[in-house]
A and B are shown apart, each in its own frame.
Chain A
Amino acid sequence: MVMATKWFGAALACAAMAAFASTAAAKTQITVYTALENEQLKPYKEAFEKANPDIEIVWVRDSTGVITARLLAEKANPKADAVIGLAVTSLILFDNQGMIERYAPKGVEALKPGFRDAANPPAWIGMDAYMSAICFNTVEAQKKNLPKPASWKDVLKPEYKGQVVMPNPASSGTGFLSVSGWLQSMGEADAWKYMDGLHENVAVYTHSGSAPCVQAARGEYVLGISFEYRAAQEKTKGAPIEVILPTEGVGWDLEAAAIHKGTKNLAAAKKLMDWLASKEANMVFNNFFGVVAYPGVTKEVPNYPKDAEAKMIKNDFAFSAKNRDAILAEWTKRYDGKSAPRR
């Protein structure tokens, strides 16, 4: 029997080991779903935890589309305490589905009016704005003798065939804000016609919104439709790219934050929202983004496009939020389906 007990003991040890693997430390951990860029996670987390030493952020990060779909899927059995750094169009969608715990963070009145939900208490608060931009590899363009595009229309030129890369709007927030920007600024019929033409030149639709710019920076493709922040970052790292905000104006979105309804860590989530609305937090955002929610926080970001605020189109978030599903279904039908064998 001794041996049997020994084996039983070993089995128990195995089970205990597995259980131990899932336990965690003593601080209050809040699970924060986010689509922030990877390099922002650490500074944001460190700054917040320094101000709130009793709380620890655990990130769940993916592309905008994936995080949005995941939160919708988990609606009945939510895992997230808060959602930050996600496109405001997604948060409006969640609010319409009753998934948001409304809360007015300390000092929310100080934020720019366009950067917080008009309702009181607000469902969401903005953090920063981000917009579509073209990353154009000058070295490869010269080798291939390609002109620099100035407008969205220019990108349709046949000489760019196979040289354009853009994010898939179903998974990437950047992809979606570009598409929604075209739909709003060109009108629906013309915008779909535009995208039909663009499809002829696109070599690949990527999963993430950063990838097109990174690939253009590496010269894998000449022209990446991405967003201005990633473009500035890549250029600062020394990539031979130019950041282009096309003349027709660019689609944009707010990165915003909200508390998930039903969170078991409401107090900690509120503290996170208080911090996000503070000037200190916005100064951290400003290390990456040129346009942030707190007025007067305008430190210059290296290589950030100068005319950014002027190029932002008149944006109707309600339109994007309401039509998100329909737009993505149409896009997928038109372009995802054509990705069959192709030389």
Chain B
Amino acid sequence: MSAVAGGGERLAVDRDGWITRAAIVAIAALLFLALVAPLWSILSQSFEDRSGAFAGLANYARFFATPALSYSILNSVLVAGVTTLIVIPLAFVYAYALTRTMVPGKALLTGVALVPILAPSMLPAIALVYLFGNQGMIRGLLLGESIYGPIGIVIGEAFYCFPHALLILVTALSLADARLYEAAAALGTGRRRVFLTITLPSAKYGLVSASFVVFTLVVTDFGIPVVIGGRFNVLATDVYKQVMGQQNFQMGAVVAMLLIVPALASFVVDRLVQRRQVALLGARSVPLEPRAKPALDLAMLAFCAAVGTVILGILATAVFASLVKLWPYNLSLTLANYVFEDFDSDGWRSYWNSLRMAAYTAVCGTAVVFAGAYLVEKGKGFAAGRQVLHLIAMVPLAVPGLVLGLAYVFFFNAPGNPLGFLYGTMALLVVCTVAHFYTVAHLTATTALKQLDPEFETVSASLKVPFYRTFWRVTVPVCLPAIVNIAIYLFVNAMTTVSAIIFIYTAQTKLASVAIVNMNDSGAIAAAAAMAVLVTATSATVKLAEALLSRLLLWRTQAWRRR
């Protein structure tokens, strides 16, 4: 706020300034209640005994003294490590094919590779039971090993993590300076050497970042081990067993704290990597355009087709599983497995609950996220407040869903919490899901906002137009594609997520993903497959609708981009 401005103008600026401040404080307070306070209560809970008295490190000591539990750390690290070693090379080659070669059908190949994002993580595990279980169609391929345990978990997690690694590596490999490759060609450098000295180093940050992301996803995923883990215990299922099976909340809190470690490490590495990645390309860089190399392109096509076939094969198996009457004795097709009332007390209601929850999350979440990002990016003054808001918005990336859900139990169900009335409501599920997926949505919004010239705000300020009018009349319409993108992201994740909400759903608010876990637990695996397929089909429909809508929007609102 400029002190030299005239009286009338100062009033206007002041009012704008105060509204900005109030809005920043409001959103930061919201995030504080939805994120920081619950996390604090889970942290303190891990240092308390069952009666709530301070117990120091006693719970941790007991954890490490219980072989059953401490073994789980090794198991989790083992499956996460192996999955990372499998997924990263596969995703790297796939990303290389998409960015550096001229394989035909790139759009289709990208679409197929992203399919796992649309499915709840239980889906690949259920499909694996039908493929490699004791009655599996192709169980011979396992050479007598059992799918229930590390093998099943690793295959399932590979399916689930592949698109996440791919997206990071595609971004990393898209950033390439053609001048380096031209220089190498001029100097007659061999292909191998070019790959090892230019391509790989330029993607190294992407590789590190992707590895950490995959490792974290595996350690914190709950859906796959709960279906196919057998007697192989991992940390994520331990939290569930400790808390849901034995109501031992303190031990659950200890395991949750351990789950945060890889997530936090991955978060820090990602921050460091992002900072360096930017410096990679200078202003004079020339973007690399891939050229046709028939032999390489063909090999890459074969590779991508193979990976795509596996992904679609797993999806198709789940669809098939949902349609078979009684595997393996009666293979006639039926829709009976979709009559969920026969398998689960809530029947179809949990699916409708999921739809409602996802819709509320998309609408309310997008509004809060975009408003918050706008204030951080375009707000005037109150730098400290904007910094704090941006910082809190980054926190969810380091918090696994299981931890967040458990934290909500501790915080919102604590006797005496004035917000306790929220416990057990749909509203809390929405708040939890928005908080869980806040960071990526926030980053999408800030990226879109960064592309807008700050002149808009300057000009409207000098025209004495209040900032919120500029926001509504200029910023929102211009950013509409990003806004739709955020809404869809929140919707799809709200449909498929299970980790956070498994702790806070109640009878009235049971969700489809919880129903999948429950039905599978009671042995109704075909019905669980049916629900998983239904959820996947829903997210796919929404995603396709987005593609159509954004094309329309681009055409209608983004005319300014065209010259």
Contact = CB atoms under 8 A, between A and B. Distances in A.
B560 interface: no
B261 interface: no
Q: How large is the interface on A (under 10, 10 to 19, 20 to 34, 35 or more residues)?
A: 35 or more
B252 to A, nearest CB: 11
Contact of B522 (A3, A70, A79, A210): A210
A301 interface: no
Contact of B326 (A171, A239, A340): A239
B425 interface: yes
B360 A17 contact: yes
A220 B130 CA distance: 10
A343 B245 contact: no
B246 A170 contact: yes
B9 interface: no
A211 B523 contact: yes
Contacts of A42: 341, 345
Contacts of B523: 206, 208, 210-215, 218
A6 B471 CA distance: 12
Given A19-B427, A339-B231, A219 B134 contact: yes
Interface in B497-537: 506-509, 518, 521-525
Interface in A22-45: 22, 24, 31, 38-39, 41-42
Contacts of A3: 466, 468-469, 471-472
Given A218-B135, A218-B326, A340-B68, A204 B522 contact: no
A72 interface: yes
A220 B245 contact: no
B232 A38 contact: no
Nearest to A170: B245
Q: Which of B245, B246, B469, B472 has the most CB of A within 10 A?
A: B245
B230 A204 contact: yes
The 7 A-B residue pairs with the shortest CB-CB distance, nearest first, are A214-B523, A21-B426, A337-B68, A18-B427, A22-B425, A69-B247, A339-B231
Contacts of B129: 220
B364 to A, nearest CB: 4
Nearest to B347: A42
A208 B520 CA distance: 10
Given A59-B507, A72-B247, A237-B326, A211 B521 contact: yes
A58 B507 contact: yes
Given A65-B245, A220-B134, A342 B149 contact: yes
Contact of A69 (B245, B424, B425, B430): B245
Interface stretch (A7-15, A97-105, A255-263, A278-286): A7-15
A56 to B, nearest CB: 11
A70 B247 contact: yes
A310 interface: no
B231 A219 contact: no
B344 interface: yes
Contacts of B182: none
A324 interface: no
A187 interface: no
Given A214-B523, A218-B326, A340-B71, A1 B466 contact: yes
Nearest to B414: A77
Q: Which of A214, A217, A220 has the most CB of B within 10 A?
A: A220
B342 A219 contact: no
Contacts of A267: none
Given A206-B523, A336-B68, 9 more contacts: A17-B364, A21-B427, A38-B345, A38-B522, A69-B246, A76-B415, A77-B413, A218-B328, A342-B231
B507 A31 contact: yes
A212 B522 CA distance: 9
Nearest to A332: B68
A58 B363 CA distance: 29
B255 to A, nearest CB: 14
A203 interface: yes
B20 to A, nearest CB: 11
A55 to B, nearest CB: 16
Interface in B343-372: 343-345, 356, 360, 363-364, 367, 371
Nearest to B506: A60
B329 to A, nearest CB: 6
A11 B67 CA distance: 50
B75 A341 contact: yes
A311 interface: no
Given A60-B507, A220-B133, A238-B326, A340 B341 contact: no
B302 to A, nearest CB: 34
Contact of B148 (A11, A61, A139, A203): A203
Nearest to A139: B329
Contacts of B518: 62
A59 B508 CA distance: 9
A69 B243 CA distance: 9
B426 A18 contact: yes
Nearest to B357: A21
A226 B89 CA distance: 44
B289 interface: no
